[in-house]
């Protein structure tokens, strides 16, 4: 027996957990992010202090709890879900600040271990500082809000409950089908309570990350459907990366001749210059992929959750008899669009399908020449007087090393990136577009750099995102973790502004400007906001550029620097962007006094006709 507090036992346990896949073993939880308050400073905080100089559980002080969960997500995604970080927060606001991060992790199917602190189990001092009281239930706490956001949730009211909670948490973190946010809520008093633990709790334990193989009958059914296809299209999602199946995908594509489109999480699964890479599928995809999607008779989804951006809100696939074959480790995703379910690891499944399709060649053809020219033009627009955002992305795409990583999450950039970016390395493109959370960029980049210190990481940050959360710059500076930031200043929401205008809402409330007393609207002068000065004040080195030539030079300077460097550039939010020739369902008011809204509603109703509640489902 070992006498330790609950928090000490937790830390000791976590330090002894390992993951294994393909014979490679590594620490499952190699570090902990945290912010201390009275809810965890003397519990989990004390336990982390006891091991602080042993390397057993490195501790990183974050600046914002939401940010630290984003960093943990960036880290785990970069490590293909083989490792996860823990996040400890104090009770009340410290913990609820992690809710957005929890939702983001679960939506993206990325493992993070969240350790919110909780109110006293004994309730002897209740209501404690930051305790929310509910007259209908004395056992309700704000941490119950984690339940719908987590793939595993437990609250350790008694020390005896800890071992089972820990085992359950590790299982879900390492289960590729179930993974996401894993939450263990820790009452403040229980964290500090001592208990006699069995030695075995702290033995080294290896969690084997499975590569489930397809069931033979399911493989046969899937292969039969693909063999019947005249115009098949494969949609590669994030699961291809997490399973490290990019080589298997390339071999599959080359053996079958099937074109490969990608999703935001899947970009880079097949590198852009592969002759069978046709670009993004859906609302922000390439017209080449979207033409193939429109006419596809068989869609093979690999590791994709089929978000509305991928299906263009269920308008992307218009062949009346279209059928889906969904290779996914999660039955939940494999069942979508009435697909033939091939529940398996992406690499195992692709290899098995390649074998089962021996001799099959897809007769489908396409031509990407025109589209490649359109992208080249967008990258070199020469827009005046301010450069276009597409030129910023183009310069970055061209100047970055193949192994550098570009990070983005929200605003107008994810769409432009999905459409235009030419991924030259499987891990070059990191856009969080499942939760599309403003503020992910800098915090996520911090975790990515921690996961891949040998790569340069470039976070593209819109002014809106920057204002929402730039605090992890300070963490990067304090930890000596070098980031490159590109702050794209366009004085508001280019994205939602354009969306608003296209939906007849006249960019209302999307510009960061002074309120104009004459109109009462936020349509006055630009604000005197200087985000470069802000970044500098947080400890970053700053380069201000005005032209694309200066920007290119600044990228080289930032890359060569060993300290966190922010490049500030102003762009024209109204500059042209190529069309994906696709659609996204954002409902427009059915009745309106405004003529602009009435016109937009008419256009909306035309698009709605192409939308099908059920896309697939045709029986052979």
511 binds ligand TPP (CB under 6 A): no
490 binds Mg ion (CB under 5 A): yes
Q: Minimum distance between the CB of residue 167 and ligand TPP, rounded to whole angstroms?
A: 34
437, interface contact from ligand TPP, Mg ion, none, CB < 5-8 Å by kind:
ligand TPP
Q: Minimum distance between the CB of residue 229 and ligand TPP, rounded to whole angstroms?
A: 37
Nearer to ligand TPP, 463 or 570 (CB): 463
CB 109 within 8 A of CB 82: no
237 binds ligand TPP (CB under 6 A): no
243, interface contact from ligand TPP, Mg ion, none, CB < 5-8 Å by kind:
none
Q: Which residues does residue 205 pair with via DSSP β-bridges, in sequence order?
A: 17
Q: In which order are the strands placed within the sheet that holds 86-89?
A: 59-61, 32-35, 86-89, 112-118, 181-187, 152-155
Residue carrying the six token digits 């403003």: 438
DSSP string for residues in 553-582: HHHHHHHH-SS-EEEEEE--TTS-----S-
Nearer to Mg ion, 224 or 529 (CB): 529
Residues 397-416 contacting ligand TPP, CB under 6 A? 410-413
Q: Minimum distance between the CB of residue 449 and Mg ion, rounded to whole angstroms?
A: 24
Number of residues that bind Mg ion (CB under 5 A): 4
410, interface contact from Mg ion, ligand TPP, none, CB < 5-8 Å by kind:
ligand TPP
Cβ neighbours of residue 166 closer than 8 Å, sequence gap 6 or more = 10, 13, 14, 184, 201
Number of residues that bind ligand TPP (CB under 6 A): 17
| Residue from the set 34, 462, 504, 616 that interacts with ligand TPP by CB under 6 A | 462
Residues 474-493 contacting ligand TPP, CB under 6 A? 490, 493
- How many Å apart are CA 487 and CA 389, to the nearest integer? 11
| Residue from the set 159, 415, 462, 616 that interacts with Mg ion by CB under 5 A | 462
- How many Å apart are CA 173 and CA 230, to the nearest integer? 40
Residues 368-387 contacting ligand TPP, CB under 6 A? none
Nearer to Mg ion, 45 or 462 (CB): 462
CB 32 within 8 A of CB 68: no
Question: Nearest 5°: phi and psi at 488?
Answer: -105, 100
> In sequence order, which ranges of 506-561 are alpha helices (DSSP H)?
531-537, 548-560
534 binds ligand TPP (CB under 6 A): no
- How many Å apart are CA 215 and CA 342, to the nearest integer? 8
CB 457 within 8 A of CB 443: no
Nearer to ligand TPP, 366 or 512 (CB): 512
Q: Minimum distance between the CB of residue 280 and ligand TPP, rounded to whole angstroms?
A: 18
- How many Å apart are CA 74 and CA 170, to the nearest integer? 19
266, interface contact from Mg ion, ligand TPP, none, CB < 5-8 Å by kind:
none
Interaction site with Mg ion (CB under 5 A)? 462-464, 490
Interaction site with ligand TPP (CB under 6 A)? 410-413, 436-439, 462-465, 490, 493-496
């Amino acid at each position: 027996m070992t006498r330790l507090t609950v928090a000490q036992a937790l830390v000791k346990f976590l330090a002894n957990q390992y993951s294994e896949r393909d014979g490679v073993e590594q620490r499952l939880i190699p570090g902990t992010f945290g912010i201390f308050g009275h809810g965890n400073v003397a519990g989990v905080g004390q336990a982390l202090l006891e091991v602080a100089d042993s390397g057993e559980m490195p501790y990183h002080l974050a600046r914002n709890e939401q940010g630290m969960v984003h960093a943990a997500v960036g880290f785990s995604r970069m490590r293909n879900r083989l490792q996860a970080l823990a996040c400890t927060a104090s009770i009340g606001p410290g913990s609820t600040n992690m809710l957005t991060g929890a939702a983001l992790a679960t939506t993206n199917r990325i493992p993070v271990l969240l350790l919110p602190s909780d109110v006293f189990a004994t309730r002897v001092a209740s209501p404690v500082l930051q305790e929310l009281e509910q007259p209908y239930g004395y056992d309700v706490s704000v941490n119950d809000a984690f339940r719908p956001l987590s793939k595993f949730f437990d609250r350790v009211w008694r020390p005896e409950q800890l071992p089972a909670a820990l085992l359950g948490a590790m299982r879900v973190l390492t289960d590729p089908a179930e993974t996401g946010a894993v939450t263990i809520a820790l009452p403040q008093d229980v964290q500090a309570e001592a208990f006699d633990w069995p030695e075995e709790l702290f033995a080294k334990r290896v969690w084997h990350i499975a590569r489930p193989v397809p069931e033979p009958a399911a493989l046969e059914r899937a292969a039969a459907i693909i063999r019947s296809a005249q115009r098949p299209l494969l949609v590669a999602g994030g699961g291809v990366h997490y399973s490290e199946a990019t080589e298997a995908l390339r071999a599959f594509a080359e053996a079958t001749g099937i074109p490969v489109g990608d999703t935001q999480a899947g970009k880079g699964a097949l590198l852009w210059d592969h002759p069978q890479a046709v670009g993004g599928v859906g609302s922000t995809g390439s017209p080449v992929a979207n033409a193939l999607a429109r006419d596809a008779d068989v869609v093979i989804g690999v590791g994709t959750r089929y978000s509305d951006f991928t299906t263009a809100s269920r308008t992307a696939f218009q062949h009346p008899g279209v059928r889906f074959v969904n290779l996914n480790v999660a039955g939940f995703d494999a069942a979508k669009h009435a697909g033939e379910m091939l529940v398996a690891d992406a690499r195992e499944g692709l290899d098995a399908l390649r074998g089962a399709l021996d001799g099959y060649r897809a007769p489908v053809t396409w031509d990407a020449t025109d589209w490649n020219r359109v992208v080249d033009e967008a990258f070199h627009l020469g827009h005046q007087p301010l450069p276009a955002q597409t030129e910023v992305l183009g310069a970055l795409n061209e100047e970055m090393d193949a192994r550098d990583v570009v990070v983005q999450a929200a605003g107008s950039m994810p769409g432009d990136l999905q459409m235009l970016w030419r991924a030259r390395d499987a891990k070059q493109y990191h856009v969080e577009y499942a939760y599309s959370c403003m503020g992910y960029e800098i915090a996520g980049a911090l975790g990515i750099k921690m996961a891949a210190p040998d790569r340069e990481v470039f976070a593209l940050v819109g002014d809106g995102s920057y204002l929402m959360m730039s605090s992890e710059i300070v963490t990067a500076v304090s930890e000596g973790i070098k980031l490159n930031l590109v702050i794209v200043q366009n004085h508001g929401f280019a994205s939602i502004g354009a969306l608003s205008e296209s939906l007849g809402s006249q960019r209302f409330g999307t510009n960061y400007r002074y309120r104009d007393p004459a109109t009462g609207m936020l349509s006055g002068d630009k604000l005197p906001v200087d985000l470069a000065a802000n970044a500098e004040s947080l400890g970053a080195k700053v380069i201000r550029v005005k032209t694309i030539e200066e920007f290119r030079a600044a990228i080289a300077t930032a890359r060569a620097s060993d300290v966190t460097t922010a490049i500030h550039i102003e762009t024209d939010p109204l500059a042209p962007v190529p069309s994906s020739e696709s659609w996204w369902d954002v409902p427009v008011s059915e009745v309106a006094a405004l003529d602009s809204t009435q016109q937009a509603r008419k256009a909306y109703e035309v698009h709605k006709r192409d939308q099908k509640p059920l896309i697939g489902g045709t029986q052979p």
